[in-house]
Structure 1
Amino acid sequence: MKWLILGALLFLQGCSSNYFLYSPNDKIVFSKDDFSHPVKDSFIRSRSGNTLHLQHHLSDNPQGLVIHFHGNRGNLSQTVEKVVWLVDEGYDVMLVDYSGYGLSNGKPTRENLALDAQTVFEISHGLAHQHKVIVATSMGGAIALDGLAKSKLERYFDLLVIDSSFESYQNLARDVVANVPIAKWFSSRIPALVSDERSPASNIKQIVNIDTIIAHCNDDRLIPITRGKALYQVAGNNSQFWQFNGCRHARTFTDEFPNNQQRLLAHIRKNRGASLVASNTLTSP
């Protein structure tokens, strides 16, 4: 049991490298031929000093660009289903693998991944697409917010969707500890073990020039919906909170839930025409 506790705390620790916070692998689970649309790969040099793999899923007549930041586990090929459906709806989709993930080199640390996200925003903000949407899932929400705050380029993007994410590394660690009864004793030590430097809550306060949706499933057992609501509470006046029933962690907008997909698609299309200025509203299906 003590090794389980130590492993949980190390996994969520936030000191110098944060290496244990991330679980990358290089197992590519699909071929480009698995898709009916064109798929292209590119490699870019990141501010982190590492080379990143980007994958572009291309629509015949793109109405805009969707950039996806995946969660802490696996690589872009294992999370593509969360956004690739948007290609059939007329959007180019760019998938991002961070340092140490998939075909990208280097090590995944909090600083490296923030610099990776910053680089992606710097490269993509000038692309020809007139409508640009950011979709960030789970840990990808924290990474995207960190990179967007660093880049100060949010005004060049039209919509930010944060799904199944959290506001505080320390509070997320407390949630993990709370699920191990004997580990509750460690709760008071979390501030010393887990850094909240550049937390999602602190970063989202700096991002005021983009319409934002924060989405979360009531049944999320990995990152409780309370974490998503806490992030929403500190978001700007141009934010909305969407809560959904019946979906598991980070599955909100997959093909399992076509109604959720259609709600997001309708919002994206509405956003394409004009700024929404959502006035910090909380909604449910």
Structure 2
Amino acid sequence: MMLRFALVAGLAWFSSTWLLSTLERWTLYAFDPTSVAPQDAGLSNVTWKEFYTADNMHVVWTASAQPGKPTIIYFHGNAGNLAQRAQRFGYMLDRGYGLVALAYSGSSGSQGTPSQDNMIASAAQLWASIDSYSDPASPKVIYGESIGSAVTLHLIGTQSNVTPAAVILEAPFTNLIEVGSTLYPQLATVIPQVLKDTWDNTVMAPKLTAPLLVIHGTKDALIPQSMGRKIYGLAASAEKNFHSVQGAGHINTWQPTAQRALWRFIDTYGRP
């Protein structure tokens, strides 16, 4: 009887471990590797550039800022590719902002396999050479979307040379253990033991001192707004604002009221 129980328990553990490992790749890093030229996405004034880390080539989309305007350093979310953010980028460019959008490993034609370590490393290397991709006189505003908010917080929290003019976090989360346990409560005891990339943003948020805007939908079923509010509360920024998007889920936060709050924030803190 005990042997049979141990066998069943072992199979259940293996199944849970395999399931979570698979879910980590399928859901956390569900990037689209398709390479799309900016012009084919309707962005005629955006340039495709190749950015090389120690082991991989990464795609970067860039556009110059108009005089006196900031450059948006954009870290995208955990699904799709840069082309699927083309409309957002177009709105930014229409306002005269510059753009530097990094495609992580496995996204938009970038090489390699995504992980917490290499995403942070590529973001840090990009920042170290940011003057090669944007006008040095243009203030830098970092925008982190979903998993990109974790990249943003870890970049700022681990690199002393990262001093943006302002930071925008869209749907930030506390850590992946809490996200996973919220989505899959039946696996809550297993998740901390098998999840490799935890992205603990609660440790990094207190290191953020730049002006901060958090945008989060009230109906976000993937990352509850309570997580965004916790990150907001932990941030050490003296000037910060939380914009709650009524009725919005995880992927439709860019509603008119949110856009107005976004442009107002960028125009206020992205000045030379």
TM, length-normalised to structure 1: 0.79
SS at match of 1:44: strand
Question: Is 2:237 aligned against 1:226?
Answer: no
Question: Is 2:10 aligned against 1:10?
Answer: no
Question: Is 2:193 aligned against 1:192?
Answer: yes
Question: Is 2:182 aligned against 1:216?
Answer: no
SS at match of 2:241: strand
For 1:171-182, list aligned pairs within 5 A. 171-178=178-185
Mark the runs of 5 or more structure 1 residues left unpaired by the alignment: 179-183, 275-285
Pick from 125, 142, 149 the counterpart of residue 150 of structure 2: 142
Q: Using the TM superposition, name which of 30-39 and 62-71 deviates more.
A: 30-39
What do the CA deviations read for 1:106-161 (whole angstroms, capped 9, x no partner)? Answer: 11011111101111221226742332111110111111222232222232x10110
Contact map agreement 2:72 2:143 (CA 8 A) in 1: yes
For 1:100-249, list aligned pairs within 5 A. 100-124=106-130, 127-155=135-163, 157-178=164-185, 184=186, 186-195=187-196, 199-208=200-209, 210-238=210-238, 239-249=240-250
What do the CA deviations read for 1:47-86 (whole angstroms, capped 9, x no partner)? Answer: 5x22111011345556120111111112211223334311
Contact map agreement 2:38 2:47 (CA 8 A) in 1: no
Instruction: State the one-letter code of the partner of 1:10.
Output: S
Q: Percent identity?
A: 21
Aligned to 1:263: 261
State the shift of 1:37 in Å.
4.4
SS at match of 1:188: coil
Aligned to 1:278: none
Q: Distance in 2 between matches of 1:36 and 1:97?
A: 16
Pick from 25, 38, 43 the counterpart of residue 45 of structure 2: 38
Instruction: State the one-letter code of the partner of 1:177.
Output: Y
Contact map agreement 2:75 2:145 (CA 8 A) in 1: yes
Structure 2 CA distance for partners of 1:90 and 1:31, relative to 1, 3 Å = closer
Compute the RMSD of aligned alpha carbons: 2.8
Pick the structure with more helix per residue.
Answer: 2
State the shift of 1:207 in Å.
2.7
Mark the runs of 5 or more structure 2 residues left unpaired by the alignment: 1-11
Contact map agreement 2:71 2:98 (CA 8 A) in 1: yes
TM, length-normalised to structure 2: 0.83
Q: Distance in 2 between matches of 1:36 and 1:237?
A: 34
Larger Rg belongs to: 2
State the shift of 1:219 in Å.
1.2
Instruction: State the one-letter code of the partner of 2:244.
Output: Q
